[in-house]
Structure 1
Amino acid sequence: MYMDNPDDRNDLVQEMTYQLWKSYQRFEGNSQFSTWMYRVCLNTALTFFKKEDKKVKTNVIREDFDRIDVDDSNEKENQLNHFYKAVQSLNGVEKAIIFLYLEGKSHKEIGDDLGISEGNARVKLNRTKDKLQQIIKANGYEF
Structure 2
Amino acid sequence: MTTATEAQRHHFAELLGQHQGIVLKVARSYCRDAEDRRDLLQEISIQAWQGFAGFDATRAQFSTWLYRIALNVAITRVRAVRVRQRHHADNHDIDTLPAADTTEDAAQLTQLYAVIQALPPLDRALVLLHLDDCSHRQIGEVLGISASNAATRLHRIKQQLREQFADTPTRQG
- Give the corresponding residue for 1:13: 41
Q: Which amino acid aligns with 1:18?
A: I
2:55 pairs with 1:22: no
Structure 1 segment 55-70 matched on structure 2, within 5 A: 55=86, 57=89, 59-66=92-99, 69-70=100-101
Separation in 2 of the partners of 1:40 and 1:64? 22
Identify which of 113, 118, 126 aligns with 2:155: 126
Structure 1 residue matching 2:137: 3-state secondary structure: helix
Instruction: Supply the distance in 2 between the matched residues of 1:9 and 1:73 (Cα, whole angstroms).
Output: 24
Partners of 1:16 and 1:41 within 8 A in 2:
yes
TM-score by length of 1: 0.74
Q: Does 1:86 align with 2:119?
A: no
Equivalent AA in structure 2 for residue 61 of structure 1: I
1:101 alignment partner, one of 122, 130, 134: 130
Q: Separation in 2 of the partners of 1:26 and 1:80?
A: 36
Please tell me the root mean square deviation across aligned C-alpha atoms, in Å: 2.9
- Counterpart residue identity of residue 136, structure 2: H
Structure 2 CA distance for aligned equivalents of residues 79 and 35 of structure 1: 27
Structure 1 CA distance, aligned partners of 2:165 and 2:170? 6
- With normalisation by structure 2, the TM-score equals 0.63
Separation in structure 1 between the aligned mates of residue 35 and residue 103 of structure 2, nearest angstrom: 32
- Alpha-carbon distance in 1 for matches of 2:94, 2:41: 17
Distance 2:164 2:92 in 1: 15
Work out the number of aligned pairs and report it: 138
Report deviation, 1:60: 4.7
Secondary structure in 1 matching 2:96: helix
1:4-63 per-residue CA deviation (whole Å, 9 max, x = no partner) reads 111211121121122123222322443344443333223222222233334595725143
Bigger radius of gyration among the two: 2
Consecutive unaligned residues in structure 2, runs of 5 or more = 1-27
